[in-house]
């Protein structure tokens, strides 16, 4: 019986580790992709960014951890918040890039808005890592 309980806890732990590692990897891909797209506007980079956002959203939507993890409910909510902020940030960046091409006069406020969203996303991710017991 003790072996069965150990096996169950081990299974939960393995699932938790996989959920975290998958989410961290997806976030890292998105972070790199949006940084690359900000620096250079090519269809290939935009496609990579779109794929990275789709993957991040999927990982956030399916992010499930056991109640053995401290702050489990907050972590699940924070993962979803990060994905939502990432989507808003991407839309903001696309608006900024479009304004650059069209030579719109409101570039400064669009760039500031994009920067603010980037900060919000990074703060949310740092909080997620903190809730998970990790320090940057």
pLDDT digits (tens, 9 = 90+) for 52-101: 999 999 999 999 998 878 899 999 999 999 999 999 999 999 999 888 88
Q: The domain spanning residue 86 has which CATH number?
A: 1.20.120
Residue 87 lies in a domain: yes
Query: What's the whole-model pTM score?
Result: 0.90
Residue 136 lies in a domain: no
Number of domains in the chain: 1
- pLDDT for residue 7: 64
Residue 32 lies in a domain: yes
Q: How confident is the model at residue 41 (pLDDT cuts 50, 70, 90)?
A: confident
Residue 70 lies in a domain: yes
Residue 54 lies in a domain: yes
Domain that holds residue 20: 2-131
Residue 44 lies in a domain: yes
Residue 16 lies in a domain: yes
35 and 54 in contact (C-beta within 8 Å)?
A: no
Mean pLDDT of 104-120: 90
Q: How confident is the model at residue 106 (pLDDT cuts 50, 70, 90)?
A: confident
Distance CA 101, CA 123 (A): 30
pLDDT, mean over the chain: 90
Q: Could you give the count of Cα atoms lying within 13 Å of 31 in the half-sphere of its Cβ?
A: 15
């Amino acid at each position: 019986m003790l072996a069965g309980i150990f096996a169950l806890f081990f299974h939960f732990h393995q699932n938790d580790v996989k959920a975290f590692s998958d989410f961290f990897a997806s976030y890292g891909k998105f972070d790199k992709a949006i940084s690359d797209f900000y620096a250079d506007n090519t269809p290939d980079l935009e496609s990579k960014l779109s794929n990275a956002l789709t993957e991040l959203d999927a990982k956030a939507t399916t992010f499930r951890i056991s109640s053995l993890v401290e702050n489990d409910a907050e972590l699940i909510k924070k993962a979803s918040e990060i994905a939502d902020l990432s989507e808003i940030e991407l839309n903001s960046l696309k608006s900024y890039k479009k304004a650059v091409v069209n030579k719109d006069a409101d570039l400064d406020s669009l760039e500031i808005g994009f920067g603010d969203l980037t900060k919000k996303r990074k703060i949310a991710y740092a909080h997620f890592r903190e809730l998970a017991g990790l320090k940057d």
